[in-house]
Amino acid sequence: MNTAIDEREGFAAFLLRLRGRGTAPKALVAAFEAT
């Protein structure tokens, strides 16, 4: 099962959409990219 991987990719896409609009908290983006 790749559920965790799929969820992570979905979350990454979600963050990228937020960042594209400039509304993503930088701390959240940084924390995600650090993983």
**pLDDT number for residue 9:** 87
pLDDT at residue 13, rounded to an integer:
85
The confidence score (pLDDT) of residue 22 equals 62
- What whole-number distance in Å separates Cα of residue 4 and Cα of residue 22? 26
Angle between helices 26-34 and 3-21 (to 10 degrees): 150
| Cβ atoms 15, 29 nearer than 8 A | yes
Position 34 scores a pLDDT of: 73
The SS3 call for residue 35 is coil
Task: Give the pLDDT score at 23.
Answer: 58
Q: What is the pLDDT along the chain (35 residues), one digit of tens a residue?
A: 567 778 888 888 887 787 666 655 777 777 777 76
pTM assigned to the model: 0.41
